[in-house]
Amino acid sequence: MEILITNDDGIYAEGIFALAEALKKVGNVTVVAPDTQRSAVGHAITITDPLRVVTARRNGKFFGYAASGTPADCVKLGIKAIMKKKPDLVVSGINLGGNQAYNILYSGTVSGATEGALLGIPSMAVSLDTFVNPDFRGSAAFAAKLAKLMKTKALPHGTLLNVNLPNLPARRIKGVRVTTQSLTCFNDWFDKRTDPHGNTYYWMTGDYKPKDSDKKSDLNALRAGYISVTPIHFDLTNYAFFGELEKWGL
C-alpha cells in the first residue's frame, strides 16, 4: 500500500512524525509537506509563484519532501511530480487542533485530504482536538487502524473522511462515532492596535463555544469524549433550495 502523507503544521511538526511512524507499519510512506506552518490556508494553491522542494531529515534520517507551498500543493506535487506510483491512500495530519464544524473550510489539513479525494484517491484528515499538551500516540494508532480498513472499503468519488480525536488517554475515549459536520463556526473579532510608528493594525481573534442542537455532529461527539469520523464531500449545490431559486424568475 502506497501512502502519501501531508499536513499544514509543517514537515517538522510533531503530529506528522507520529503519523508517519504509525503508517509505516501499514504501507510505504511518502511524506510531502509544507516547509513551514501553513495553518488556516484553506484550499489555497500556489499558481503565481514557483514551488520548491527539498528533502527533510528528522532524527538524522531522511523523512520526506518539504515544499514551499500549501497542503493542497503538496498533495498535487506528491502525486504528479514526486511519487513513482499513484498512492492508494492520502492522509493529512495529525493536526494540532480540531477541524470540526465550519472550521473545516479554513483548514489546511482537511484541504490536503480534499485534494486527494478530488484526484480519486481514498483520503482522510486527522486532527487532535487540543492546542496544549498533545499526545499524538492514540491518534496515530487510530489513523493506522483506519488506513488498514480503508484498504478493504470504498469511498464515493470526492468523499473523504474527516477524523477528529479528543486529547484523552485511550482508556477515557468512549468510542468512535460516525458524525455530521456541525453547522457552527468561530465567533471572531478584531483586536485593533497601534504600532510604534503610529499605524493601525488588527489581530483576528475569537472563541469557539457554540451550542449545537445536532446530536450527531462532530462537535458534540468530541465534547462527549468520542472520536468523530465525518464523511465529507464538496458537492456544494444546495439541492434542497434549487427549486425555490428557480421560482425567483431570474
One residue of 41, 66, 90, 144 binding a second copy per CB under 8 A = 41
What's the CA gap between 162 and 177, in Å, rounded?
12
- Sites for a second copy among residues 80-139 (CB under 8 A): 80-81, 102, 104-106, 111, 114, 118
With respect to a second copy, which residue has the nearer C-beta, 28 or 37? 37
What's the CA gap between 42 and 70, in Å, rounded?
9
Check residue 18 and report its DSSP letter: H
In angstroms, give the least distance from the CB of 59 to a second copy: 25
- Sites for a second copy among residues 136-155 (CB under 8 A): 146, 149, 153, 155
Give the containing element (helix H, strand E) for 116: helix 108-118
Q: Is 46 in the site for a second copy (CB under 8 A)?
A: yes
Q: Is 62 in the site for a second copy (CB under 8 A)?
A: no
What's the CA gap between 244 and 203, in Å, rounded?
40
For the record, the C-alpha cell of 120 comes out as 480519486
Backbone angles phi, psi at 91, to 5 degrees: -125, 130
One residue of 24, 25, 52, 174 binding a second copy per CB under 8 A = 52
Contact in structure between 52 and 74 (CB atoms under 8 Å):
no
With respect to a second copy, which residue has the nearer C-beta, 170 or 183? 183
With respect to a second copy, which residue has the nearer C-beta, 132 or 240? 240
Q: Is 76 in the site for a second copy (CB under 8 A)?
A: yes
In angstroms, give the least distance from the CB of 21 to a second copy: 22
In angstroms, give the least distance from the CB of 243 to a second copy: 9
What's the CA gap between 123 and 110, in Å, rounded?
10
